Amino acid sequence: MIGPVAGRLFSADWFSHGEEFPWSTVEIVSISEAIMALGSYPKEHSFSNLIDTLKSEKHEDRKYFSPAKLQDPRYDELPLSIRVLLEAAIRKCDDFYVRKEDVETILDWRRQQGSAEVPFSPARLLLQDFTGIPAMVDLAAMRDAVARQGGDPSQVNPKCPTDLIVDHALQIDFGKCAIQNAPNPGGGDSQATPVKSTPAKPRGCGPQRSCSKGACNDPPSTSAPAAAVQIENTPLLCPFHLQPVFEPEIALKNQEKELIRNRERLQFFKWCSQAFKNVNVVPPDISAVHQVNLEYLCQAVQEHEDFVYPDSVVGTDSHTTMVNGLGILGWGVGGIESEAVMLGQPVTLTLPKVVGCKLLGSVNVLATSIDIVLGITKHLRQAGISGKFVEFFGPGVSQLSAPDRTTIANMCPEYNATVSFFPVDDVTLKHFKQANFSEEKLELVEAYLKAVKLFRSYQDLGEDPHYSEVIEIDLSSIVPHVSGPKRSQDRVEVSNMKKDFLNCLNEKVGFKGFHIPVEKQTTLMPFLHGSREYQLTHGSVVLAALISCTNNCNPSVMLAAGLLAKKAVGAGLSVRPYIQTSLAPGSGMVTHYLSASGVLPYFSQLGFEVVGYGCATCVGNTSPLPEAVVNAIKQGDLVACGVLSGSRHFEGRLCDCVRANYLASPPLVVAYAIAGTVSIDFETEPLGLTPEGKEVYLRDVWPSREEVQHTEENMVISSIFRELREKMKRGNKLWKDLEASEAELFPWDPKSTYIRCPPFFNKLTKELCEPQPMENAHALLFLGDMVTTDHISPAGSIARVSAAAKYLQSKRLTPREFNSYGARRGNDAVMTRGTFASIKLQNRFVGKAGPKTLHVPSGQIMDVFDAAERYQRDGIPLIILAGKKYGSGNSRDWAAKGPYLLGVRAVIAESFEKLHKNHLVAMGIAPLQFLPGQSADSLELSGKEKFSLCIPKDLSPGQEITVKTSTGKTFQVIASFENAVDMVFYKHGGILKFVARNALP
């Protein structure tokens, strides 16, 4: 007999699976799943009266749940994103996870928004490898725990279709031109050795020649333009002949290096694809996670047997929100929540307020989609929409292409919205046609979405629903901007960039300032690169990266950058050879259309070589700058700059010595790389000089909107989507040849430094242990405001003097073998030691930035991990004191897992970022909030006191808890739990133990 908790945990994931889900493999673990396995809805389904049949000649056999049959006028007033939540609640209503009251709550959205809790079961789950590997490692460890307690480990499987995309492993080991002995138009030093490969048939320049070794002596071919070249597997082009070389050598070299470096992780992923049912792993070098989601996985409308329903997704990548641009509801969750979704639990969320964003006016001809994104970001961030849905409407929406919409939707985490939703309209349908949806599929999508009123005509004001509030944005007011130098919300008009940067030099150290003395602001530092002398000064660009985030889904901006590069090369301009340039598309599709349009060789001539596919510079995986450049920066104490076309640029993330980092559109990245400085007024100062000494301005090489649109219309066609599908079918040979265990339980290797069985289940018991009061706890850290998950959770490279480095050295690894924190997220020993290891962490115990803290009993300053280990050895519980917005930034599960393994059991802060607070709860860490108006300073806390927390057994959300200190001070804090589900997770010691405990017999 299955109890109510277990029944709810493993109840049926009704009709959330895609067409190809192997239903014959589903384990029957509840009565509702047994009914589901019969292949039809049970007669007792609460809303079986809402089942209807599509009124379509080709789809008469398709059934669906029709909310319109409720005959409730409130449905027509709902925002379309809320209608998706309502449909899922109706379809999933099983009196376990979803009750009739939940359906009524959503239908009563206008009164319940912002307060009521509702469940949402997405159609599918999306994982990327950095955050996916901890989730899969935890599932593997959970299998072990269930087996130890006498349960059946094969029952631990994802119940929701799960796609895991291996895309974040790429590090740039090889860049610039990898072709030996060839002139390097970009000017960079060529140190890479070409990969020797034997293709099935020659594809080189000329009848019998290849450009894979040295420059060809043949004159450039004029027989066929580059745009007419048949593109196969997106190769690089010879910069001399504009013809394909044998292999994309740089990408291959990085890919082979990646396989060697990440073999253990990849073997684990392959084991997951074989051992776990309902898991699909997309191997490395196929595409970035958000691109696979947009180009391959999204269905707009899902089908199972005779039923259809809206496509929806949650994912562990912050770019999951991009699919909202295609009318597919989806958002990012942490690895902890993803594990719950994998096991069939719905996502519980507060019924969101929905901000209607009305777009008016016409797009400025000089503004790119990035400018529009940053313009909308500024408006919405100022509006204070944290935790809300944003839904776009108004006549201006029709001017935005589907790629424009996904670009805008991608950035919603930057203004703290949960989603930015663009309902499907005719523009979206045209995009799906480009994406190779069949005519039958297109007809089904249109017929179903219109039947359930999820299809929009933005010109029809009568279709506008009610919103919580409406914000109007005039698109014609948006002008080109960049963002920085430290935060994405600090936007700077390009026309004001030089003045703003000089102001940053003068300002005191902060979010915008560097406090450089006036007499040192004109410092020039000479250095040798190759055999030539160059000079660096404040504002010099030393790193310019065209990367995947935000841009590869929108061909217009990448094509604009390519056309600018083409014009610049034609004018005789170049990029200084010491600047670290790279082109890391998130998808082979990008390389495909850049090649087909003929602009890729011009990128190459400016030094922007394709280095591979996946997240690279954006997540801190960049190759080192030339030593002479680093020395010049340090000796001159220069504010050197990085410019990138991504969506992340926290201070110090790209490179320790690059203090100013700006987000910019791809054409502006190229422009600043050519200029060699961000301290330039493009209106009055030239980018550079022609060989004849003529000044060339940005306006001379900036492509017109008509040029970009013409190129996009002629090059961005359905073949780019077919290319990805064909690449998915071909797969990755290195992946196919990789050996992996086929055992039911993962064979943990005690010597592995990548994959370790985490200790979360070491003390798992069948019985629930009530939370205990915390007596004489010490503060591990005393932090200020705006501590981000970048400060808490490790990312990027592993510093040689860090606690994680010491651990890896004890395993006889050299610094060259450290790899990155992201690559080692499956090893709790590394990740725990990396927690709070940021060089930018400001701990008030220490007084200067760095990963150090005070061990209060001894008075010693030591690494955070060493102090925590010492506290745990002495049996002392730990808390963290913090200021406002603790845990802001992009979500990371290790930002909660790491502190938990350090021994932290509570965080007392002035306020929390909502998603991170949820993660703390999910790990069994209590989020406690100072009373309004109070803080550690107002209470005169030094942080060195002992803290005793009186946590009652009947603890409830919002309850006040008494904290007593060893100095005799007593104060109250608020238990910042949101609902009863939070309390269940906390009392179980976190969601992992809750899930595992309910899987036991």
Residue by residue, DSSP assigns 378-418 as: HHHHHHT-TT-EEEEESGGGGGS-HHHHHHHHHTGGGGT-S
Amino acid present at 156: V
Quote the pLDDT of residue 839. Answer: 87
Per 3-state DSSP, the chain is made up of helix, strand and coil in percentages (nearest 5) of 35, 15, 45
- Residue 746's Cβ-side half-sphere holds a number of Cα atoms within 13 Å equal to 30
Quote the pLDDT of residue 24. Answer: 30
| Cα(1001)–Cα(999) distance, integer angstroms | 7
| Cα(287)–Cα(721) distance, integer angstroms | 12
Taking only Cα atoms into account, the Rg of the chain, rounded to an integer number of angstroms, comes to 28
Q: Which residue has the tokens 């998808």?
A: 587
Q: Which residue has the tokens 């902890």?
A: 336
821, 480, 864: which is closest to 672 by C-alpha? 480
Give the rounded distance of the alpha carbon of 603 from its chain centre.
Answer: 26
Quote the pLDDT of residue 906. Answer: 96
Helical spans, DSSP H, in 597-697: 600-605, 627-636, 666-675
437, 268, 356, 406: which is closest to 80 by C-alpha? 356
Angle CA(226)–CA(228)–CA(234) in degrees, nearest 5?
70
746, 763, 764: which is closest to 755 by C-alpha? 746
Q: State the SS3 of 504-540.
A: HHHCCCCCCCCCCCHHHCCCCEEEEECCEEEEECCCE
Give Cα separations from 68 to 445, 798, 852 (angstroms).
17, 55, 59
| Cα(957)–Cα(625) distance, integer angstroms | 50
| Cα(215)–Cα(241) distance, integer angstroms | 10
**pLDDT averaged per 10 residues in sequence order, the chain, 1001 residues:** 28 31 31 34 73 82 92 96 97 83 96 92 89 88 90 85 77 47 30 32 32 33 32 37 45 69 84 91 79 85 90 89 95 80 84 96 79 80 88 93 85 85 94 84 94 93 93 92 86 93 93 92 94 95 79 73 95 95 79 85 93 61 82 95 75 71 92 97 94 94 83 67 74 81 92 92 81 91 92 85 93 89 88 92 91 94 95 96 89 85 96 88 93 95 94 89 94 90 86 81 75
CB atoms within 10 A of CB 737: 8
Quote the pLDDT of residue 222. Answer: 31
| Cα(851)–Cα(150) distance, integer angstroms | 42
Order of strands, edge to edge, in the sheet holding 389-393? 419-421, 389-393, 354-360, 469-474
214's CB contacts (< 8 A; 6+ apart) are 179, 180, 181, 182
| Cα(421)–Cα(406) distance, integer angstroms | 9
Q: What is the dihedral of CA 24, 30, 36, 41, to 10 degrees?
A: 180
Quote the pLDDT of residue 262. Answer: 76
Quote the pLDDT of residue 874. Answer: 95
Phi, psi of 922 (to 5 degrees): -65, -20
Angle CA(730)–CA(733)–CA(736) in degrees, nearest 5?
95
Q: State the SS3 of 768-797.
A: CCCCCCEEEEEEEEEECCCCEHHHHCCCCE
DSSP 641-663: EEEESSS---TTSS-TT--EEEE
**Which pair of structure tokens corresponds to residue 449?**
């979405």
Q: What is the dihedral of CA 61, 65, 68, 72, to 10 degrees?
A: 150
| pTM recorded for the entire structure | 0.67
